Amino acid sequence: METLKKQMLLLQSKRAYHTSRIKYYKGMVTLARRLPPEILASIFWLCANNFSSNAPLTYSQVCTEWRRAALTPYLWSRPVVDCAERTACSQARLWLKRAAETSLSITLYIYHQATSPDEVIKIFLPKSSNWHSLKICGTSSDVHRVLELCTLPMPQLRRFAAECPRQVTLDPTPLHIALTSATKLDACSLSSVTIPTVDLFPTSITRLCLSILPIAPFDISMTNLMMLLGNLGHLQTLDLRLPRDTSAQPLIWDTVEPEALDLSYLLQLKLDGHYDAYRLLRFIRTPMLQSFSLSYGEGLEPLNLPPATEEILSHFLQTNCDTLQKLELSSITTFPSNYGTWLGCMPGLREIYLHDSDIPDAAMHLLSEAPLLCPRLARLDLRWCENLRGQSLVDLVRVRTLARKDNPMSDDAPSTIEEVTLINCASVLVKDVIELATMTICRVLAPQDEDRCSQSLCSVIYVLRVYYFGEYRE
Protein backbone atom coordinates (compact mmCIF):
# COMPACT_ATOMS: atom_id res chain seq x y z
CA MET A 1 0.00 0.00 0.00
CA GLU A 2 2.79 2.43 0.86
CA THR A 3 4.46 1.63 -2.44
CA LEU A 4 1.30 2.46 -4.36
CA LYS A 5 0.93 5.78 -2.50
CA LYS A 6 4.51 6.72 -3.34
CA GLN A 7 3.92 5.88 -6.99
CA MET A 8 0.71 7.95 -6.98
CA LEU A 9 2.48 10.97 -5.45
CA LEU A 10 5.29 10.61 -7.98
CA LEU A 11 2.83 10.53 -10.88
CA GLN A 12 0.93 13.53 -9.48
CA SER A 13 4.20 15.44 -9.21
CA LYS A 14 5.11 14.59 -12.81
CA ARG A 15 1.64 15.60 -14.00
CA ALA A 16 1.90 18.98 -12.21
CA TYR A 17 5.34 19.51 -13.74
CA HIS A 18 4.19 18.70 -17.28
CA THR A 19 1.04 20.81 -16.84
CA SER A 20 3.13 23.81 -15.84
CA ARG A 21 5.46 23.28 -18.82
CA ILE A 22 2.50 23.03 -21.20
CA LYS A 23 1.13 26.29 -19.82
CA TYR A 24 4.57 27.91 -20.20
CA TYR A 25 5.00 26.82 -23.82
CA LYS A 26 1.45 27.85 -24.70
CA GLY A 27 2.33 31.29 -23.44
CA MET A 28 5.43 31.26 -25.64
CA VAL A 29 3.37 30.77 -28.82
CA THR A 30 0.66 33.41 -28.19
CA LEU A 31 0.01 35.98 -30.89
CA ALA A 32 1.55 38.74 -28.78
CA ARG A 33 4.84 36.82 -28.66
CA ARG A 34 4.78 35.77 -32.32
CA LEU A 35 4.30 39.28 -33.70
CA PRO A 36 7.45 40.79 -35.27
CA PRO A 37 9.03 43.52 -33.11
CA GLU A 38 8.27 46.24 -35.69
CA ILE A 39 4.54 45.36 -35.62
CA LEU A 40 4.51 45.42 -31.82
CA ALA A 41 6.32 48.75 -31.88
CA SER A 42 3.64 50.17 -34.21
CA ILE A 43 0.91 49.00 -31.82
CA PHE A 44 2.73 50.59 -28.88
CA TRP A 45 3.01 53.82 -30.88
CA LEU A 46 -0.75 53.90 -31.42
CA CYS A 47 -1.32 53.28 -27.71
CA ALA A 48 1.07 56.08 -26.78
CA ASN A 49 -0.74 58.49 -29.11
CA ASN A 50 -4.30 57.60 -28.11
CA PHE A 51 -4.23 56.39 -24.53
CA SER A 52 -1.10 56.93 -22.43
CA SER A 53 2.09 58.85 -23.09
CA ASN A 54 3.86 56.46 -20.68
CA ALA A 55 2.98 53.44 -22.80
CA PRO A 56 6.62 52.68 -23.81
CA LEU A 57 7.67 52.60 -20.16
CA THR A 58 4.74 50.36 -19.20
CA TYR A 59 5.08 47.86 -22.05
CA SER A 60 8.84 47.54 -21.67
CA GLN A 61 8.24 45.85 -18.31
CA VAL A 62 5.90 43.06 -19.53
CA CYS A 63 8.27 40.50 -21.02
CA THR A 64 11.51 40.19 -22.97
CA GLU A 65 9.86 40.33 -26.41
CA TRP A 66 7.76 43.36 -25.52
CA ARG A 67 10.76 45.08 -23.98
CA ARG A 68 12.76 44.53 -27.16
CA ALA A 69 9.96 46.11 -29.22
CA ALA A 70 9.32 48.90 -26.70
CA LEU A 71 12.96 50.01 -26.90
CA THR A 72 12.46 51.16 -30.50
CA PRO A 73 13.76 54.77 -30.41
CA TYR A 74 10.80 56.51 -32.05
CA LEU A 75 8.51 55.26 -29.26
CA TRP A 76 10.47 57.48 -26.88
CA SER A 77 10.30 60.57 -29.05
CA ARG A 78 7.46 62.17 -27.03
CA PRO A 79 8.80 62.59 -23.49
CA VAL A 80 6.30 63.79 -20.90
CA VAL A 81 7.91 64.96 -17.64
CA ASP A 82 6.07 66.22 -14.56
CA CYS A 83 8.16 68.29 -12.18
CA ALA A 84 5.80 67.32 -9.35
CA GLU A 85 7.68 64.00 -9.22
CA ARG A 86 11.04 63.75 -7.45
CA THR A 87 12.30 61.45 -10.20
CA ALA A 88 11.63 63.96 -12.98
CA CYS A 89 15.31 64.36 -13.86
CA SER A 90 15.95 60.61 -14.04
CA GLN A 91 12.83 60.22 -16.17
CA ALA A 92 14.06 62.92 -18.56
CA ARG A 93 17.44 61.19 -18.88
CA LEU A 94 15.74 57.85 -19.56
CA TRP A 95 13.48 59.30 -22.30
CA LEU A 96 16.43 61.10 -23.89
CA LYS A 97 18.68 58.04 -23.82
CA ARG A 98 16.12 55.73 -25.39
CA ALA A 99 14.99 58.28 -27.99
CA ALA A 100 18.54 58.31 -29.41
CA GLU A 101 18.64 60.69 -32.40
CA THR A 102 14.90 60.84 -33.18
CA SER A 103 12.95 64.11 -33.30
CA LEU A 104 11.63 65.08 -29.85
CA SER A 105 8.16 66.36 -28.93
CA ILE A 106 8.62 67.48 -25.32
CA THR A 107 5.84 68.15 -22.79
CA LEU A 108 6.83 69.68 -19.46
CA TYR A 109 4.42 70.10 -16.52
CA ILE A 110 5.62 72.57 -13.88
CA TYR A 111 2.49 73.36 -11.86
CA HIS A 112 3.85 71.65 -8.74
CA GLN A 113 7.59 71.41 -8.29
CA ALA A 114 9.27 68.63 -6.38
CA THR A 115 12.00 68.94 -9.01
CA SER A 116 13.30 72.21 -10.45
CA PRO A 117 12.10 72.69 -14.05
CA ASP A 118 15.43 74.39 -14.75
CA GLU A 119 17.25 71.12 -14.10
CA VAL A 120 14.84 69.17 -16.29
CA ILE A 121 15.06 71.49 -19.29
CA LYS A 122 18.88 71.54 -19.02
CA ILE A 123 18.84 67.77 -19.58
CA PHE A 124 16.98 68.22 -22.88
CA LEU A 125 18.93 71.28 -24.09
CA PRO A 126 21.92 69.38 -25.57
CA LYS A 127 19.43 67.81 -28.00
CA SER A 128 17.71 71.12 -28.90
CA SER A 129 18.60 70.59 -32.55
CA ASN A 130 16.26 67.56 -32.49
CA TRP A 131 13.29 69.33 -30.91
CA HIS A 132 10.19 69.05 -33.08
CA SER A 133 7.66 70.49 -30.62
CA LEU A 134 7.73 72.00 -27.13
CA LYS A 135 4.80 72.30 -24.72
CA ILE A 136 5.11 73.94 -21.30
CA CYS A 137 2.29 73.91 -18.74
CA GLY A 138 2.58 76.06 -15.62
CA THR A 139 2.48 79.60 -14.28
CA SER A 140 3.67 82.34 -16.60
CA SER A 141 6.71 83.06 -14.42
CA ASP A 142 7.78 79.41 -14.66
CA VAL A 143 7.22 79.41 -18.42
CA HIS A 144 9.35 82.57 -18.66
CA ARG A 145 12.15 80.98 -16.65
CA VAL A 146 12.21 77.85 -18.79
CA LEU A 147 12.19 79.86 -22.03
CA GLU A 148 15.06 82.03 -20.81
CA LEU A 149 17.18 78.87 -20.59
CA CYS A 150 16.35 77.85 -24.16
CA THR A 151 19.24 79.71 -25.77
CA LEU A 152 20.60 76.94 -28.00
CA PRO A 153 19.49 76.73 -31.66
CA MET A 154 16.23 74.88 -32.39
CA PRO A 155 16.31 74.58 -36.19
CA GLN A 156 13.74 71.74 -36.36
CA LEU A 157 11.15 73.19 -33.96
CA ARG A 158 7.76 73.38 -35.66
CA ARG A 159 5.23 73.65 -32.81
CA PHE A 160 5.21 75.57 -29.54
CA ALA A 161 2.45 75.45 -26.92
CA ALA A 162 2.02 77.10 -23.52
CA GLU A 163 -0.71 76.60 -20.94
CA CYS A 164 -0.83 79.32 -18.28
CA PRO A 165 -4.16 79.19 -16.44
CA ARG A 166 -3.16 81.27 -13.41
CA GLN A 167 -1.56 84.42 -14.82
CA VAL A 168 -3.02 87.28 -16.80
CA THR A 169 -0.11 88.08 -19.13
CA LEU A 170 2.71 86.24 -20.80
CA ASP A 171 5.79 88.34 -21.50
CA PRO A 172 6.69 88.02 -25.20
CA THR A 173 10.42 88.78 -24.74
CA PRO A 174 11.60 85.34 -23.50
CA LEU A 175 9.49 83.65 -26.16
CA HIS A 176 10.92 85.78 -28.95
CA ILE A 177 14.50 85.19 -27.79
CA ALA A 178 13.99 81.44 -27.44
CA LEU A 179 12.31 81.10 -30.85
CA THR A 180 14.74 83.28 -32.80
CA SER A 181 16.54 80.23 -34.15
CA ALA A 182 13.31 78.27 -34.79
CA THR A 183 13.17 79.12 -38.47
CA LYS A 184 10.70 76.29 -39.25
CA LEU A 185 8.18 77.21 -36.52
CA ASP A 186 4.69 77.28 -38.02
CA ALA A 187 2.25 76.42 -35.19
CA CYS A 188 1.60 78.02 -31.81
CA SER A 189 -0.95 77.19 -29.13
CA LEU A 190 -1.78 79.15 -25.99
CA SER A 191 -4.22 78.50 -23.15
CA SER A 192 -4.56 81.52 -20.89
CA VAL A 193 -7.14 83.63 -19.07
CA THR A 194 -6.93 86.75 -21.27
CA ILE A 195 -6.07 87.74 -24.83
CA PRO A 196 -2.26 87.85 -25.16
CA THR A 197 -0.28 90.89 -26.27
CA VAL A 198 -0.13 91.71 -29.97
CA ASP A 199 3.53 90.78 -30.40
CA LEU A 200 3.52 87.50 -28.47
CA PHE A 201 3.60 85.14 -31.46
CA PRO A 202 6.08 85.17 -34.35
CA THR A 203 4.45 86.77 -37.39
CA SER A 204 5.50 83.85 -39.62
CA ILE A 205 3.29 81.18 -38.01
CA THR A 206 0.56 79.58 -40.13
CA ARG A 207 -1.43 77.78 -37.41
CA LEU A 208 -2.76 79.28 -34.18
CA CYS A 209 -4.87 77.75 -31.41
CA LEU A 210 -5.93 80.30 -28.77
CA SER A 211 -7.99 79.08 -25.81
CA ILE A 212 -9.23 81.51 -23.15
CA LEU A 213 -9.83 79.41 -20.04
CA PRO A 214 -13.11 80.02 -18.13
CA ILE A 215 -11.54 80.04 -14.67
CA ALA A 216 -10.96 83.68 -13.79
CA PRO A 217 -13.10 86.87 -13.78
CA PHE A 218 -11.13 88.89 -16.33
CA ASP A 219 -12.56 91.02 -19.13
CA ILE A 220 -11.74 89.79 -22.62
CA SER A 221 -10.89 92.52 -25.10
CA MET A 222 -12.08 91.54 -28.55
CA THR A 223 -10.28 94.59 -29.94
CA ASN A 224 -6.99 93.13 -28.68
CA LEU A 225 -7.91 89.88 -30.39
CA MET A 226 -8.46 91.72 -33.67
CA MET A 227 -5.08 93.43 -33.30
CA LEU A 228 -3.40 90.10 -32.55
CA LEU A 229 -4.88 88.48 -35.65
CA GLY A 230 -3.97 91.49 -37.75
CA ASN A 231 -0.33 90.88 -36.86
CA LEU A 232 -0.45 87.28 -38.17
CA GLY A 233 -0.92 87.76 -41.88
CA HIS A 234 0.17 84.24 -42.90
CA LEU A 235 -2.36 82.26 -40.86
CA GLN A 236 -3.84 79.22 -42.61
CA THR A 237 -5.50 77.59 -39.58
CA LEU A 238 -7.18 79.49 -36.74
CA ASP A 239 -8.81 77.84 -33.72
CA LEU A 240 -10.43 80.23 -31.21
CA ARG A 241 -12.00 78.91 -28.01
CA LEU A 242 -13.64 81.63 -25.93
CA PRO A 243 -15.67 81.41 -22.69
CA ARG A 244 -19.41 80.78 -22.84
CA ASP A 245 -20.23 82.46 -19.53
CA THR A 246 -20.00 86.14 -20.41
CA SER A 247 -21.30 87.19 -16.99
CA ALA A 248 -18.02 86.09 -15.38
CA GLN A 249 -15.80 86.88 -18.38
CA PRO A 250 -17.46 89.59 -20.49
CA LEU A 251 -16.38 90.11 -24.07
CA ILE A 252 -15.48 93.79 -24.39
CA TRP A 253 -15.90 95.56 -27.73
CA ASP A 254 -14.79 99.13 -28.37
CA THR A 255 -17.48 101.66 -29.16
CA VAL A 256 -15.71 102.39 -32.46
CA GLU A 257 -16.00 99.48 -34.86
CA PRO A 258 -12.63 98.00 -35.89
CA GLU A 259 -11.51 98.00 -39.48
CA ALA A 260 -12.06 94.88 -41.57
CA LEU A 261 -9.32 92.30 -41.19
CA ASP A 262 -8.09 90.50 -44.29
CA LEU A 263 -6.96 86.92 -43.59
CA SER A 264 -6.09 86.17 -47.18
CA TYR A 265 -4.43 82.78 -46.58
CA LEU A 266 -6.84 81.36 -44.01
CA LEU A 267 -8.08 77.87 -44.96
CA GLN A 268 -9.59 76.61 -41.70
CA LEU A 269 -11.53 78.60 -39.10
CA LYS A 270 -12.95 77.19 -35.87
CA LEU A 271 -14.84 79.41 -33.43
CA ASP A 272 -16.09 78.03 -30.11
CA GLY A 273 -17.77 80.16 -27.45
CA HIS A 274 -20.60 82.54 -26.58
CA TYR A 275 -22.58 83.90 -29.52
CA ASP A 276 -21.37 87.44 -28.74
CA ALA A 277 -17.95 86.29 -29.98
CA TYR A 278 -19.50 85.60 -33.38
CA ARG A 279 -19.44 89.37 -33.97
CA LEU A 280 -15.82 88.76 -34.92
CA LEU A 281 -17.07 87.28 -38.20
CA ARG A 282 -18.40 90.67 -39.17
CA PHE A 283 -14.91 92.13 -39.39
CA ILE A 284 -12.84 89.43 -41.07
CA ARG A 285 -12.42 88.54 -44.74
CA THR A 286 -11.43 84.97 -45.69
CA PRO A 287 -11.45 84.64 -49.50
CA MET A 288 -9.77 81.19 -49.46
CA LEU A 289 -11.66 79.57 -46.56
CA GLN A 290 -12.21 75.81 -47.02
CA SER A 291 -13.37 74.64 -43.57
CA PHE A 292 -15.61 76.53 -41.12
CA SER A 293 -16.65 75.25 -37.69
CA LEU A 294 -18.96 77.07 -35.30
CA SER A 295 -19.71 75.70 -31.83
CA TYR A 296 -21.55 76.90 -28.76
CA GLY A 297 -20.13 74.06 -26.71
CA GLU A 298 -20.10 70.31 -27.03
CA GLY A 299 -22.71 68.58 -24.88
CA LEU A 300 -24.60 71.80 -24.09
CA GLU A 301 -28.21 72.54 -24.93
CA PRO A 302 -28.50 73.81 -28.52
CA LEU A 303 -28.40 77.59 -28.80
CA ASN A 304 -31.11 79.50 -30.64
CA LEU A 305 -29.16 82.27 -32.35
CA PRO A 306 -30.41 85.82 -31.72
CA PRO A 307 -31.57 87.61 -34.90
CA ALA A 308 -28.58 89.97 -34.90
CA THR A 309 -26.16 87.01 -34.68
CA GLU A 310 -28.00 85.17 -37.45
CA GLU A 311 -27.61 88.25 -39.64
CA ILE A 312 -23.87 88.40 -38.94
CA LEU A 313 -23.43 84.71 -39.68
CA SER A 314 -25.48 84.92 -42.88
CA HIS A 315 -23.43 87.88 -44.09
CA PHE A 316 -20.17 86.06 -43.36
CA LEU A 317 -21.25 82.93 -45.23
CA GLN A 318 -22.53 84.92 -48.21
CA THR A 319 -19.32 86.93 -48.58
CA ASN A 320 -16.57 84.48 -47.56
CA CYS A 321 -17.64 80.94 -48.44
CA ASP A 322 -17.41 80.59 -52.23
CA THR A 323 -14.53 78.14 -51.71
CA LEU A 324 -15.92 76.41 -48.60
CA GLN A 325 -15.75 72.60 -48.63
CA LYS A 326 -16.61 71.70 -45.03
CA LEU A 327 -19.24 73.18 -42.69
CA GLU A 328 -19.58 72.11 -39.04
CA LEU A 329 -22.19 73.38 -36.59
CA SER A 330 -22.32 72.19 -32.98
CA SER A 331 -25.12 73.10 -30.55
CA ILE A 332 -26.40 75.74 -32.97
CA THR A 333 -30.06 76.00 -34.01
CA THR A 334 -31.57 78.39 -36.54
CA PHE A 335 -34.68 78.88 -38.67
CA PRO A 336 -35.20 76.56 -41.70
CA SER A 337 -35.09 79.53 -44.06
CA ASN A 338 -31.55 80.33 -42.93
CA TYR A 339 -30.33 76.92 -44.04
CA GLY A 340 -31.52 77.67 -47.54
CA THR A 341 -29.65 80.98 -47.52
CA TRP A 342 -26.48 79.48 -46.10
CA LEU A 343 -26.34 76.39 -48.30
CA GLY A 344 -26.99 78.49 -51.38
CA CYS A 345 -23.71 80.33 -50.77
CA MET A 346 -21.55 77.18 -50.86
CA PRO A 347 -21.40 75.72 -54.37
CA GLY A 348 -18.26 73.71 -53.55
CA LEU A 349 -19.41 72.30 -50.20
CA ARG A 350 -18.50 68.61 -49.81
CA GLU A 351 -19.02 67.87 -46.10
CA ILE A 352 -21.71 68.86 -43.59
CA TYR A 353 -21.32 68.08 -39.88
CA LEU A 354 -24.27 68.85 -37.61
CA HIS A 355 -23.88 67.90 -33.94
CA ASP A 356 -26.73 68.87 -31.62
CA SER A 357 -27.77 71.24 -34.40
CA ASP A 358 -31.09 70.11 -35.78
CA ILE A 359 -31.63 70.47 -39.50
CA PRO A 360 -35.30 70.40 -40.58
CA ASP A 361 -36.67 68.24 -43.35
CA ALA A 362 -37.37 71.40 -45.36
CA ALA A 363 -33.65 72.17 -45.46
CA MET A 364 -32.82 68.61 -46.47
CA HIS A 365 -35.32 68.85 -49.33
CA LEU A 366 -33.36 71.83 -50.68
CA LEU A 367 -30.45 69.46 -51.22
CA SER A 368 -32.56 66.97 -53.16
CA GLU A 369 -34.91 69.17 -55.20
CA ALA A 370 -34.02 71.06 -58.37
CA PRO A 371 -32.13 73.28 -58.57
CA LEU A 372 -29.85 71.29 -56.28
CA LEU A 373 -27.90 73.24 -53.69
CA CYS A 374 -24.32 72.17 -52.89
CA PRO A 375 -23.95 69.93 -55.97
CA ARG A 376 -20.54 68.64 -54.79
CA LEU A 377 -21.88 67.39 -51.43
CA ALA A 378 -20.48 63.93 -50.64
CA ARG A 379 -20.58 63.42 -46.86
CA LEU A 380 -23.12 64.01 -44.08
CA ASP A 381 -22.34 63.57 -40.38
CA LEU A 382 -25.50 64.01 -38.28
CA ARG A 383 -25.55 63.50 -34.50
CA TRP A 384 -28.33 64.18 -32.04
CA CYS A 385 -30.51 65.67 -34.78
CA GLU A 386 -33.81 64.69 -33.19
CA ASN A 387 -36.32 66.03 -35.73
CA LEU A 388 -34.73 65.00 -39.00
CA ARG A 389 -36.65 62.13 -40.60
CA GLY A 390 -34.76 59.25 -42.14
CA GLN A 391 -36.93 59.32 -45.27
CA SER A 392 -35.56 62.78 -46.12
CA LEU A 393 -32.05 61.34 -46.11
CA VAL A 394 -33.12 58.37 -48.21
CA ASP A 395 -34.67 60.72 -50.79
CA LEU A 396 -31.53 62.87 -50.84
CA VAL A 397 -29.17 59.94 -51.44
CA ARG A 398 -31.47 58.37 -54.04
CA VAL A 399 -31.95 61.58 -56.04
CA ARG A 400 -28.24 62.29 -56.16
CA THR A 401 -27.35 58.71 -57.04
CA LEU A 402 -29.84 58.61 -59.92
CA ALA A 403 -28.81 62.04 -61.19
CA ARG A 404 -25.20 60.94 -61.33
CA LYS A 405 -26.10 57.63 -62.93
CA ASP A 406 -28.01 59.38 -65.71
CA ASN A 407 -25.05 61.66 -66.49
CA PRO A 408 -21.93 59.79 -65.35
CA MET A 409 -19.50 61.85 -67.45
CA SER A 410 -21.10 65.26 -67.02
CA ASP A 411 -19.34 67.87 -64.91
CA ASP A 412 -22.71 69.46 -64.18
CA ALA A 413 -24.18 66.31 -62.62
CA PRO A 414 -24.25 66.36 -58.80
CA SER A 415 -21.88 64.17 -56.80
CA THR A 416 -23.22 61.06 -55.16
CA ILE A 417 -23.43 60.95 -51.35
CA GLU A 418 -20.43 58.80 -50.45
CA GLU A 419 -21.03 58.48 -46.70
CA VAL A 420 -23.73 59.21 -44.11
CA THR A 421 -23.13 59.05 -40.35
CA LEU A 422 -26.20 58.87 -38.09
CA ILE A 423 -25.78 58.88 -34.32
CA ASN A 424 -28.69 59.31 -31.90
CA CYS A 425 -31.01 60.69 -34.57
CA ALA A 426 -34.31 59.71 -32.96
CA SER A 427 -36.51 60.11 -36.05
CA VAL A 428 -34.33 57.91 -38.26
CA LEU A 429 -35.83 54.42 -38.32
CA VAL A 430 -34.10 51.09 -38.77
CA LYS A 431 -35.67 50.64 -42.22
CA ASP A 432 -34.21 54.03 -43.22
CA VAL A 433 -30.74 52.93 -42.16
CA ILE A 434 -31.11 49.68 -44.10
CA GLU A 435 -32.25 51.51 -47.23
CA LEU A 436 -29.40 53.99 -46.96
CA ALA A 437 -26.95 51.12 -46.61
CA THR A 438 -28.06 49.73 -49.99
CA MET A 439 -27.06 52.98 -51.71
CA THR A 440 -24.05 54.32 -49.79
CA ILE A 441 -21.85 53.86 -46.75
CA CYS A 442 -24.02 54.39 -43.68
CA ARG A 443 -22.40 54.55 -40.25
CA VAL A 444 -24.33 54.31 -37.01
CA LEU A 445 -21.30 54.11 -34.73
CA ALA A 446 -18.70 56.82 -34.23
CA PRO A 447 -15.06 56.07 -35.03
CA GLN A 448 -13.38 54.44 -32.05
CA ASP A 449 -11.19 57.46 -31.27
CA GLU A 450 -14.24 59.71 -30.82
CA ASP A 451 -16.91 57.23 -29.70
CA ARG A 452 -19.12 58.88 -27.09
CA CYS A 453 -22.11 56.68 -27.84
CA SER A 454 -21.06 53.24 -26.61
CA GLN A 455 -23.91 53.16 -24.09
CA SER A 456 -26.52 54.57 -26.45
CA LEU A 457 -29.17 53.10 -28.69
CA CYS A 458 -26.95 53.33 -31.75
CA SER A 459 -25.44 49.99 -30.81
CA VAL A 460 -28.95 48.50 -30.94
CA ILE A 461 -29.54 50.04 -34.37
CA TYR A 462 -26.23 48.62 -35.54
CA VAL A 463 -27.18 45.09 -34.41
CA LEU A 464 -30.59 45.35 -36.04
CA ARG A 465 -29.00 46.53 -39.25
CA VAL A 466 -26.69 43.51 -39.35
CA TYR A 467 -29.61 41.18 -38.54
CA TYR A 468 -32.02 42.51 -41.16
CA PHE A 469 -29.52 43.26 -43.89
CA GLY A 470 -26.67 40.82 -44.27
CA GLU A 471 -24.78 42.40 -47.16
CA TYR A 472 -24.20 46.08 -46.45
CA ARG A 473 -21.41 48.50 -47.18
CA GLU A 474 -19.34 49.47 -44.16
Q: What is the pLDDT of residue 274?
A: 82
- pLDDT digits over 308-320, tens only? 888 888 889 888 8
Using the predicted structure, report yes or no on whether residue 94 has a pLDDT greater than 80: yes
DSSP assignment of 366-379: HTTSSSPSSTT--E
Mean pLDDT of 149-171: 79
Percent of the chain with pLDDT over 90: 14
Return the SS3 of 163. Answer: strand
At residue 180, the pLDDT reads 78
pLDDT at 218: 64
Evaluate whether 359 touches 393 at the Cβ level (below 8 Å). Answer: no
Q: Is the peptide bond before 371 cis (omega within 30 degrees of 0)?
A: yes
pLDDT at residue 29, as a whole number: 62
Report the share of the chain in percent with pLDDT over 70: 85
- Distance between CA 157 and CA 177 in Å, rounded? 14
Q: What angle do CA 442, 444, 450 make, to 5 degrees?
A: 115
pTM: 0.80
Looking at residue 469, what is its pLDDT? 45
CB 84 within 8 A of CB 109: yes
Beta strands in 214-343 (DSSP E): 220-221, 237-241, 251-252, 261-262, 268-272, 284-285, 291-295, 303-304, 326-330, 332-333
| Domain 289-474 falls under CATH 2.40.128 | no
pLDDT of residue 1: 77
- Mean pLDDT, the chain, as a whole number? 81
| pLDDT tens readout for residues 399-437 | 888 888 877 777 777 888 999 998 888 888 888 888 998
Where do the structural domains in the chain lie, given as residue ranges?
Answer: 30-72, 289-474
162-208: pLDDT as tens digits = 887 765 556 667 777 777 778 888 999 988 877 877 777 888 899 99
